[in-house]
């Protein structure tokens, strides 16, 4: 048996070279991320929260993507440096949208769901759907990124 061990090991490694691997981004589905995100509507806001017991804005976006198999940075400002920039007129469901709220730069992040609406976690409502028609959010829009 000892003499066959190197052969089995070489065969096992050799076969592994032909098994296709897949990056997490290759399987990215904006609709899946949105479906996951919507399942947490009503979850309370919690500063620094990154679980269904409570989310802050970036924790919510981070967690929703992680459940869909996508790894994102943890903070809104780091997420703002990820992906490809997208103009507001070219937004598609699943794009990450950013706002400057309490700080200059990207201090709030949400997931665009279409029709001028986005899902996010905000301090007074928790996970909820909001709209660009809301003058607060519209006036604080910073930009968007596509994963």
Q: Which of 65, 100, 120, 135 is catalytic?
A: 120
Examine the residue annotation and report whether 135 is marked as an active-site residue of this protein.
no
Single out the catalytic residue among 25, 57, 100, 135: 57
Active-site residue, selected from the candidate residues 25, 100, 108, 135? 108
Q: How would DSSP label each residue in the chain?
A: -TTTHHHHHHHHHHHHTTS----GGGG--HHHHHHHHHTTTTPPB-TT-EETTEE-HHHHHHHHHHHTT----SSHHHHTTSSEEE-GGG--TT-EEEE-SSSSS--EEEEEEETTEEEEEETTTEEEEEETTSHHHHHHEEEEEE-
Active centre residues (catalytic): 57, 108, 120
């Amino acid at each position: 048996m000892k003499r066959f061990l190197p052969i089995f090991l070489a065969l096992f490694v050799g076969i592994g070279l032909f098994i296709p691997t897949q990056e997490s981004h290759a399987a990215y589905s904006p609709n899946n991320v949105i479906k996951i995100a919507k399942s947490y509507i009503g979850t309370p806001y919690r500063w620094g929260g990154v679980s269904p017991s409570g989310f802050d804005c970036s924790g919510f976006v981070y967690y929703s993507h992680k459940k869909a198999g996508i790894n994102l940075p943890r903070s809104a400002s780091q997420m703002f440096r990820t992906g490809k920039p997208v103009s507001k007129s070219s937004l598609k469901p699943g794009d990450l949208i950013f706002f400057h709220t309490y700080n200059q730069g990207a201090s709030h992040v949400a997931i665009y769901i279409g029709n001028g609406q986005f899902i996010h976690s905000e301090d007074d409502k928790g996970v909820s759907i909001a709209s660009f028609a809301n003058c607060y959010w519209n006036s604080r829009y910073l930009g968007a990124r596509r994963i």
